[in-house]
Chain A
């Protein structure tokens, strides 16, 4: 830059007389740059400059300070010069953050490696956005925790003051049921379900169809389902079938449950559901099924595929049922709900809540309250449904007389 600067200075001085209205201006460096930049756009912007001469604005001063003040910072950075692609990626992320992109502030070595090895720019950005959101959630949670801790401290102080006032013993009929007691009670119920409960199978044969993210979602949905089942009045006896001990499912489940895994009141087995139960009793639940479930049967074994399908590969679970020649059913969502948007595939915890509710009450309205509200606009009245059915029948009967009416029909079309 310096070189070209000195070279051009005499040139600029020579040209000055041509631009008369800038005569007053001193010949400091900005003049040159102003002149160079206005040379190209002279045609379009010359009139504007006459109206508002920006002399006193010193538009280019910031550049000088940027150049001079930046030197120190740059030297500090460039001292750690190494051609490590990992470091380069880290710097790229840092620059993206400066640009206001959705990237995390701190990134661990493993995540950095995942980012670096992502094949495309979009997959990099996607993973970084995921980390960014995760980071935001984490900091928000931490903030909340701190606020809570402070509030707790204060109430403790207040309580201390109150406790000193009233110290006399009180009469209670019951001991307070602590969480531990609740857990024991649920354990008893679970044990009972293991002996006499209706089986409900989660089919774990889908590990090959899922990516790590989907697998994670599946396992967290399984955890939630098990939780809902445990709290129910009359729990199912849950089976995890086709669960390979060296598979992804097993690893993730053990990781999430920790020590609790071996104390769960459910049956985890490598065997398939067709080996455990008679085939006639099995009903495979899948949204692709042509058969609609009408009632909940207490003597059947329902199977739910533990499969989160973000890739939209329809018919995977139906294919599995077809292969084993099992009966299939789907929930009567269209019959009872005015469906809006979204797929008819529900999450595993929604499924188990619907089934539990059906088991206890037998009413579809009650059970289908667990379908997310965003997916439908409300319940269909049964009378409305039957009305539609009657209308359909009517339509068909008029269509049957189609050949007689044909000439009229074509006439109409021609007019249009």
Chain B
């Protein structure tokens, strides 16, 4: 309790923010993150009122928050004025917020129970009394111990509970209570207690289950008996593959005790199981590397960076900072790191180097084309998305009408403005593009030619005069055709649609191909950003550089995730760590 209060005092700014800006989504989020230790409401309120009593500070706070609020608004405006790129980190979240239909998710406060959780150790009689008030189907002991975990009660309370249970039960405490107690011990890092529980478990049970092992591994790693944790890891391996968290604990523990060989072996084993290591694990290697001046270790760290590159993983903010400090600590190489962004032209603001191009190599391009054809369009059953006759017709059509510059998803473009007529919007877009002497292909469905009020005959005729058109059956999917036509036309060809194509990406067989598809999509998708029908056509800029960990030997560029920005899996970070060697 006292600890948390102390914690808040040391961050007064944050505290004020929460108190006065109310519980908007952003603010309350911040608060919850910082106070994850205390969840139950009554405690929290007592804390708030305690703070409020200090009337002197209130005025001061009020003025400063007013200022803060203004600042906040200005920042919000800035953000909304330039709409983020489709694939930029946090963009999806913003889109969801702009959509008025989406409901705010309200974090409901935990249910208040009639039983007040004890804050100090109780005697047996007191426990008995508490149990009388308990009216639930589950057993009192396991319920109360779960509640103790939930509210992170002090160890002594849990201990008194166990003492009471043991006294009632001939000195036997059941396994689930032991595990819950162990959880609290690990949470408070009480090493001696952990070892005691470990001894008890070893005596009583021949083999534990995964949760017990996981807690013991985490607990033992910080004690002198850390080597025994590896035995526990072996025990887990007998029944199943340990989790990446188990490996993380073991590796961090080994590094903590200066045993780098074991750590690297465990890391190799982790990769061998096809698990993705936690970023914390990798960060630990870098953190530990600062004190080691060893070429082999350095090479392995560079291998980790390449692993990040190959799997398109991005470090978090603190990880990026550890990478920076490690590079700067390498003796004799004089690395200098800075946090920057990349210009739209693909040049690093820090050093002016150009980032890697987004375009695929010829080999990758062929591979992707082949895969799209086989998995997305054909997919083992050509009838699912189209028919063989239609596919043949389309392939002939594409072959004869030469490469295109732009392929348009007719239905997606036409439905852009729900209040405008479809054919009119499509005609507008096609006309504006045709004026630039581009070879266009418009993909659509046959019902677009069944002229009625929303698809006018004259406008469709004009579209067909200005562009090549292909109309698929009404029950066929048009997106696969779009992908194929674009890929067939070559690297210069782009396609227009607002669709993020996630369902088609999901059809691809493995993560590597999906990443390739995503890279190609970033470089070739044009999304229309015009807000009003009949206004000038504007597109979202297309990335010309690839967002991935990259090196030129004497420089490294590493994109990273900011802590406070939520990034969806199909978005990309926009902050970079630029490292270069002085020569």
CA distance A309 to B175 in the complex (A): 41
Interface 9-mer from B332-340, B379-387, B408-416, B430-438: B379-387
Total count of chain A residues near the partner, CB < 8 A: 65
Q: B192, A36: Cβ atoms under 8 Å?
A: yes
Q: B188, A41: Cβ atoms under 8 Å?
A: yes
Does A85 lie at the interface of the complex (its beta carbon under 8 Å from any beta carbon of B)?
Answer: yes
| Binary CB contact string for chain B from 494 to 530 against chain A (1 if under 8 A, 0 otherwise) | 0000000000000000000000000000000000000
| Binary CB contact string for chain A from 136 to 169 against chain B (1 if under 8 A, 0 otherwise) | 0000000000000000000000000000000000
Contact of A44 among B2, B204, B206 (CB under 8 A): B2
In A1-60, which residues have CB < 8 Å from any B CB? 1, 33, 36-37, 40-41, 44-45, 47-48, 51-52, 54, 56-60
Q: B190, A40: Cβ atoms under 8 Å?
A: yes
Nearest Cβ in chain A — how far from B223, in angstroms? Answer: 11
Q: B531, A413: Cβ atoms under 8 Å?
A: yes
Contact of B121 among A37, A52, A96, A121 (CB under 8 A): A52
CA distance A74 to B209 in the complex (A): 16
24 contacts between A and B (CB under 8 A): A1-B195, A33-B196, A47-B2, A51-B120, A52-B120, A52-B121, A54-B121, A57-B121, A61-B167, A62-B162, A66-B166, A66-B171, A67-B200, A74-B204, A83-B238, A88-B238, A91-B207, A92-B239, A95-B205, A95-B209, A121-B240, A322-B387, A402-B419, A403-B424
Q: B209, A92: Cβ atoms under 8 Å?
A: yes
Q: A41, B163: Cβ atoms under 8 Å?
A: no
Of residues A56, A63, A319, which shows the largest number of chain B Cβ atoms within 10 Å of its Cβ?
Answer: A63
Known: A57-B163, A59-B121, A98-B176. A67 touches B2 (CB 8 A): no
Q: B166, A100: Cβ atoms under 8 Å?
A: no
Known: A66-B173, A100-B176, A399-B421. A315 touches B204 (CB 8 A): no
When C-beta atoms are compared, the residue in chain B nearest to A314 turns out to be B384
Q: A62, B163: Cβ atoms under 8 Å?
A: yes
Does B155 lie at the interface of the complex (its beta carbon under 8 Å from any beta carbon of A)?
Answer: yes
Does A181 lie at the interface of the complex (its beta carbon under 8 Å from any beta carbon of B)?
Answer: no
Nearest Cβ in chain B — how far from A369, in angstroms? Answer: 30
Q: B424, A1: Cβ atoms under 8 Å?
A: no
Q: A92, B474: Cβ atoms under 8 Å?
A: no
Does A258 lie at the interface of the complex (its beta carbon under 8 Å from any beta carbon of B)?
Answer: no
In A300-328, which residues have CB < 8 Å from any B CB? 315-316, 318-320, 322-323
Does B362 lie at the interface of the complex (its beta carbon under 8 Å from any beta carbon of A)?
Answer: no
| Binary CB contact string for chain B from 155 to 173 against chain A (1 if under 8 A, 0 otherwise) | 1100110110111001111
Nearest Cβ in chain B — how far from A124, in angstroms? Answer: 7
Contact of A59 among B156, B381, B534 (CB under 8 A): B156
Does B50 lie at the interface of the complex (its beta carbon under 8 Å from any beta carbon of A)?
Answer: no
Does B154 lie at the interface of the complex (its beta carbon under 8 Å from any beta carbon of A)?
Answer: yes
| Binary CB contact string for chain B from 356 to 395 against chain A (1 if under 8 A, 0 otherwise) | 0000000000000000000000000101110100000000
B residues whose Cβ falls under 8 Å from a Cβ of A: 2-3, 120-121, 123, 142, 154-156, 159-160, 162-163, 165-167, 170-176, 179, 188-193, 195-196, 199-200, 203-212, 238-241, 243, 381, 383-385, 387, 419-421, 424, 453-454, 474-475, 531-535
Does A263 lie at the interface of the complex (its beta carbon under 8 Å from any beta carbon of B)?
Answer: no
A residues whose Cβ falls under 8 Å from a Cβ of B: 1, 33, 36-37, 40-41, 44-45, 47-48, 51-52, 54, 56-63, 65-67, 69-71, 73-74, 77-78, 81, 83, 85, 88-89, 91-92, 95-96, 98-100, 116, 120-121, 124, 290, 315-316, 318-320, 322-323, 396-397, 399-400, 402-403, 406, 409-410, 413
When C-beta atoms are compared, the residue in chain B nearest to A119 turns out to be B241
Contact of A402 among B3, B154, B384, B424 (CB under 8 A): B424
Nearest Cβ in chain A — how far from B40, in angstroms? Answer: 18
Q: B154, A99: Cβ atoms under 8 Å?
A: no
Known: A41-B188, A322-B387. A95 touches B156 (CB 8 A): no
Contacts of A48 in B (CB 8 A): 120, 154
Nearest Cβ in chain A — how far from B9, in angstroms? Answer: 15
Contacts of A66 in B (CB 8 A): 166, 171-173, 200, 203-204
Contacts of B419 in A (CB 8 A): 399, 402, 409
Q: B190, A124: Cβ atoms under 8 Å?
A: no
Q: A95, B207: Cβ atoms under 8 Å?
A: yes
Q: B163, A58: Cβ atoms under 8 Å?
A: yes
Report the 10 A-B pairs with minimum CB-CB distance, sorted nearest first: A65-B171, A62-B166, A95-B209, A319-B383, A70-B204, A98-B175, A36-B192, A59-B159, A319-B384, A70-B203
Contacts of B191 in A (CB 8 A): 40
Q: A88, B207: Cβ atoms under 8 Å?
A: yes
Nearest Cβ in chain B — how far from A63, in angstroms? Answer: 6
Contacts of B193 in A (CB 8 A): 33, 37
Contacts of A69 in B (CB 8 A): 170-172
Nearest Cβ in chain B — how far from A284, in angstroms? Answer: 12
Contact of B173 among A62, A88, A320 (CB under 8 A): A62
Contacts of A116 in B (CB 8 A): 239
Known: A66-B200, A99-B176, A99-B211. A59 touches B163 (CB 8 A): yes
Contact of B421 among A37, A89, A319, A402 (CB under 8 A): A402
Q: A399, B453: Cβ atoms under 8 Å?
A: yes
Nearest Cβ in chain A — how far from B190, in angstroms? Answer: 5
Q: A74, B163: Cβ atoms under 8 Å?
A: no
Nearest Cβ in chain A — how far from B345, in angstroms? Answer: 32
Contacts of A320 in B (CB 8 A): 383
Q: B453, A397: Cβ atoms under 8 Å?
A: yes
Q: A99, B121: Cβ atoms under 8 Å?
A: no
Q: B384, A316: Cβ atoms under 8 Å?
A: yes
Contacts of A77 in B (CB 8 A): 205-206
Contacts of B212 in A (CB 8 A): 95, 99
CA distance A85 to B236 in the complex (A): 11
CA distance A400 to B419 in the complex (A): 10
CA distance A59 to B195 in the complex (A): 16
Nearest Cβ in chain B — how far from A196, in angstroms? Answer: 35
Contacts of B199 in A (CB 8 A): 1, 67
Contacts of A319 in B (CB 8 A): 381, 383-384
Known: A37-B192, A61-B166, A290-B475. A54 touches B156 (CB 8 A): yes
CA distance A260 to B341 in the complex (A): 74
Of residues A56, A59, A116, A409, which shows the largest number of chain B Cβ atoms within 10 Å of its Cβ?
Answer: A59
CA distance A41 to B3 in the complex (A): 11
Of residues B170, B173, B196, B199, which shows the largest number of chain A Cβ atoms within 10 Å of its Cβ?
Answer: B196
Q: A62, B167: Cβ atoms under 8 Å?
A: yes
